[in-house]
Structure 1
Amino acid sequence: MLPHCIGVYACGMGGAGMALATDATKIASNPALGGRLGNELSVSLGWMHPDRTMDAQGPTPPGFPFPFANTASGEQTSQIENYPDGALAFNYRLSPTLAVGAAMVPGGGGETKYAMSRTATGQMGFGNAGAMYDSQVRIRYASLTPTVAWTPSAKASYGASVILGYMDFKSNMAVMNPAFTGLPSSPTLMTSGANELERVYGIGLKVGGVWDLSPQVSVAATASTGTRYQRLDDYRDLFTGPLHLPPNFGVGVTFRASPSTDIVADVQYQMWEAVEAIGGEQPAQGGFGWENQPIFALGVQHRLSDRFAVRAGWNYGPSPIPDDVVFANALFPAVIEHHFTAGATYAISDRWEVSGSAYFAPKVTQTDPGTGDMFSQFGGGTVITMKQYGGQVGLRWKF
């Protein structure tokens, strides 16, 4: 759901580097790092390719002539597999102690589109004049983060960002029919949003600090309100509230193992259970059952020469989707856990750098045991999988 990294430099190190000022895009991760950068502009363009499958399974509910899940579809692969990626940021020093900047970065999201429905009633078009539904979800987030950073001493920097968020959403997901009393009426309907695109906006705040404990060790901390979005009015029957991005906090450390080698490690905590529409409630109560998510990132940067540096990293966050809500989340299987990354930078001159990064996220498989709420019981045995890979190229201009 959320990007594991922002910017080509951090993406080469598993998204780690909360306490390391590599380029202007880092102000999106820790606004205090603007105080450790000069005047510069960073831009990166990228691509990501997730492979997702869904195999809907489940029993036949009492009184039904067929299973609730569309078991006839077998394993399906999402028809939409390629997405753009990238970031744009600048930093500018107003004085030796004060810097301003802004970063425009992806906020997460994704899209699945299957040829056949997750539910049998959706496949047969019950409650929708025979037209299939319950097969597609698209959600896209992006943010602009105006930032100010203050460096009161050579050993400490502090920063704050306002998060200006954009989100759009569309889906033809099924919702339960509140008027259902039994067959032949339909137990499900297509959401009132009817797969029409709706746009909303949000706002949030992020603060951070970075401190040098010694010439070899720096530490950092950040905290964010998350991004508070307007409610999707057209999809009120699908979500109990707005699709906020969650509050979060994190800490990081940089260890300069040698004049040419930096080792970075971060820990973050994403509070999905604070977002009513996504976590905190089971699907039968109107949520999607997501759990809070710790995220661990580890990376290394090594300068082979004054002009050439290489990077590698690893990122791990357990799936926020418990097994017993897999069926409810089958159209949005945000279950990736491990990312393995690599990257490099070449300094063309004292002012220009070109960089690249790539990552691979191995396949994760989750199965609904059918032991959860009504949706889990109706979708017991449903299997979702996801793997992903991608990369970026970027330019950095110091002015």
Structure 2
Amino acid sequence: MAKRAVLAAAAALVLSFSLPKAWATNGDTLIGVAPASRAMGGAGVAAPQDAISAIFANPAAVCMGPYCPGSEFVFASTIYDPSVKATVRVGPNTTTAKSDMKPFIIPAVGMITPISDRLRFGLGMFGITGMGVDYRNKGIDLNPLNAGSEGDIYTQLQILKFAPNIAFLVTPDFSIGTSMHLLYGSLDLGQGTAHNYGFGEQFGALYRAGSCSFGASYTTPEKISHQNVTDFGSGLQKRQLSMESPRTASAGIAWRPTEQLLIETDAKWLNWKDAEGYKEFDWKNQWVYALGMQYKDPDGLTLRLGYNYGKSPVRLHKGFDAAGTTSLQGSTVPTLLYEYLRMIGFPAIAEHHFTCGIGYQFSSRFEAHLGGMWALDNTTSETDASGTFSFGSNVRETSYDLGLIWHFM
């Protein structure tokens, strides 16, 4: 039964991946996966609370957690409801439009099982990256010189991650682990969708000392090259654009002042500045801070609160040369269109996230969890040197999470 449930959930995840998305959080990466992690602000490097959180945050944690020493299967789903608006000014004319994105669902599945007393295996499948807007037939043209025309601007980047994981318990209080990452990505810049695959790896370590635990994790850069995805406004043959998930390093501390209370804090560094695609869009490196608290009643009730902050990595080019050109992975692009795509097409500017959650363990084999995330409105804009062109975006995010957990001995 458990194997059939895993296959059904995986199929649902793959099928749902084609839905439109615009879920930029820390840059374009989710703050966490599944309700336990997300309800605690994405914290979980030192003490993840379920199989998916462990595989996502720290591969070594597969050997240490409430899922040990048995097996665990998790099905989770996030309902996202983003609100994105664009404001474009060309001379005296200003146009504002709302991206036509509807609420959508992001499923995820994960499982952990022992191989021996000291060796454990995990497997996770989840959407991890998404970004985009849909201003088709909104009166905003990709070329702002055509002010007032019913042109389109449509972007969509999605990445699904398949992560087999293995972890080894070196001592009763120290574990190490690694995950191999197979990525499936799609990119659409309004001229058709390009699909491709990428590879990467994640390493982690976890150490417990009394009521505290300390975790660290490192993820390699993970590049996906999208063939024939856009002509970059030239009207000529479509070209390749590579987008690389950044090198990421994170560390966390967890403290249990009582048996019921858990407090976690994480710090994460994302190397957007050197990641292909993002460095051409001039994203800067990002530090993300997460704080989460969990209270678990002996009778089975769990309450969670969290906060996550990461300053937007999108660098503003105030005073740019609207008449110039910009090199973008070997293609020469008019700077005006380049800035328009950066600011309107990829508005990854959400910064402050507040989270909460509740769960209940119905039996020794089954528990259910709910969570919510609210990212505050954030607005950014830039104007060219002549003051003729101004591009701005406003982003607000809301999401709701459901997680179901089964335990097997």
* Interval containing the TM-score (normalised by the shorter chain): 0.7 to 0.9
Task: Go from structure 1 to structure 2 and tell me whether the alpha carbon gap of 1:51 and 1:379 turns closer, same or farther (over 3 Å shift).
Answer: farther
Task: Kindly indicate whether the alpha-carbon contact (under 8 Å) linking 2:187 and 2:229 is maintained by their aligned counterparts in 1.
Answer: no
C-alpha distance in structure 2 between counterparts of 1:288 and 1:3, whole Å? 20
Task: Kindly indicate whether the alpha-carbon contact (under 8 Å) linking 1:240 and 1:276 is maintained by their aligned counterparts in 2.
Answer: no
Task: Go from structure 1 to structure 2 and tell me whether the alpha carbon gap of 1:139 and 1:362 turns closer, same or farther (over 3 Å shift).
Answer: same
Q: Which of 73, 77, 99 is the equivalent residue of 1:45?
A: 77
User: What is the SS of the residue equivalent to 1:220?
Assistant: strand
C-alpha distance in structure 1 between counterparts of 2:199 and 2:57, whole Å? 16
Q: How does 1:103-182 map onto structure 2 within 5 Å?
A: 103-114=124-135, 115-116=138-139, 117-121=141-145, 132-133=151-152, 135-172=153-190
The structure whose residues are more often strand, as a share, is 2
Q: Which of 331, 345, 352 is the equivalent residue of 1:338?
A: 352
Q: How does 1:284-323 map onto structure 2 within 5 Å?
A: 287-323=280-316
In structure 1, list runs of 5 or more residues that go unmatched.
60-66, 126-130, 173-193, 280-286, 372-376
Task: Kindly indicate whether the alpha-carbon contact (under 8 Å) linking 1:288 and 1:329 is maintained by their aligned counterparts in 2.
Answer: no
Q: Does 1:83 align with 2:104?
A: yes
CA deviations over 1:108-161 (Å, ceiling 9, x no partner): 113311112243346688xxxxx834x111111110100000001111011000
C-alpha distance in structure 2 between counterparts of 1:247 and 1:232, whole Å? 23
C-alpha distance in structure 2 between counterparts of 1:107 and 1:232, whole Å? 21
Q: How does 1:1-399 map onto structure 2 within 5 Å?
A: 1-26=28-53, 27-36=55-64, 37=68, 38-59=70-91, 71-72=93-94, 74-114=95-135, 115-116=138-139, 117-121=141-145, 132-133=151-152, 135-172=153-190, 194=191, 196-212=192-208, 214-235=209-230, 237=232, 241-279=241-279, 287-324=280-317, 327=340, 328-370=342-384, 380-399=389-408
Write the letter of the residue equivalent to 2:358.
A
C-alpha distance in structure 2 between counterparts of 1:6 and 1:390, whole Å? 12
Larger Rg: 1
Write the letter of the residue equivalent to 2:352.
H
Task: Kindly indicate whether the alpha-carbon contact (under 8 Å) linking 1:262 and 1:302 is maintained by their aligned counterparts in 2.
Answer: yes
Task: Kindly indicate whether the alpha-carbon contact (under 8 Å) linking 1:216 and 1:255 is maintained by their aligned counterparts in 2.
Answer: yes
C-alpha distance in structure 2 between counterparts of 1:235 and 1:158, whole Å? 42
In structure 2, list runs of 5 or more residues that go unmatched.
1-27, 234-238, 319-338
Task: Kindly indicate whether the alpha-carbon contact (under 8 Å) linking 1:323 and 1:369 is maintained by their aligned counterparts in 2.
Answer: no
C-alpha distance in structure 2 between counterparts of 1:314 and 1:358, whole Å? 11
C-alpha distance in structure 2 between counterparts of 1:343 and 1:232, whole Å? 41
Task: Kindly indicate whether the alpha-carbon contact (under 8 Å) linking 2:343 and 2:392 is maintained by their aligned counterparts in 1.
Answer: no
Task: Kindly indicate whether the alpha-carbon contact (under 8 Å) linking 1:230 and 1:242 is maintained by their aligned counterparts in 2.
Answer: yes
Task: Kindly indicate whether the alpha-carbon contact (under 8 Å) linking 2:90 and 2:144 is maintained by their aligned counterparts in 1.
Answer: no
> Percent sequence identity over matched residues?
23
CA deviations over 1:220-274 (Å, ceiling 9, x no partner): 0000103221343333748874111111101001011211100000000010111
Task: Kindly indicate whether the alpha-carbon contact (under 8 Å) linking 1:86 and 1:392 is maintained by their aligned counterparts in 2.
Answer: no
Structure 1 length-normalised TM:
0.82
C-alpha distance in structure 1 between counterparts of 2:188 and 2:240, whole Å? 16
User: What is the SS of the residue equivalent to 1:330?
Assistant: helix
CA deviations over 1:267-294 (Å, ceiling 9, x no partner): 0001011113212xxxxxxx21111111
- Comparing 303-312 with 237-246, greater Cα deviation is found at 237-246
Tell me the residue number matched to 2:13. none
Task: Go from structure 1 to structure 2 and tell me whether the alpha carbon gap of 1:269 and 1:122 turns closer, same or farther (over 3 Å shift).
Answer: farther
Write the letter of the residue equivalent to 1:298.
L
Task: Kindly indicate whether the alpha-carbon contact (under 8 Å) linking 1:113 and 1:137 is maintained by their aligned counterparts in 2.
Answer: yes
Task: Go from structure 1 to structure 2 and tell me whether the alpha carbon gap of 1:231 and 1:120 turns closer, same or farther (over 3 Å shift).
Answer: closer
Task: Kindly indicate whether the alpha-carbon contact (under 8 Å) linking 1:56 and 1:379 is maintained by their aligned counterparts in 2.
Answer: no
Shift of the alpha carbon at 1:219?
0.3
User: What is the SS of the residue equivalent to 1:25?
Assistant: helix
Task: Go from structure 1 to structure 2 and tell me whether the alpha carbon gap of 1:111 and 1:164 turns closer, same or farther (over 3 Å shift).
Answer: same
C-alpha distance in structure 1 between counterparts of 2:79 and 2:388, whole Å? 33
How large is the Cα RMSD of the aligned pairs? 2.0
Task: Kindly indicate whether the alpha-carbon contact (under 8 Å) linking 1:80 and 1:111 is maintained by their aligned counterparts in 2.
Answer: no
Shift of the alpha carbon at 1:380?
4.2
CA deviations over 1:324-380 (Å, ceiling 9, x no partner): 276432122110001100011100100100011101001001121435xxxxx6874
- Comparing 328-337 with 264-273, greater Cα deviation is found at 328-337
C-alpha distance in structure 1 between counterparts of 2:387 and 2:273, whole Å? 24
Q: How many residues align?
A: 347
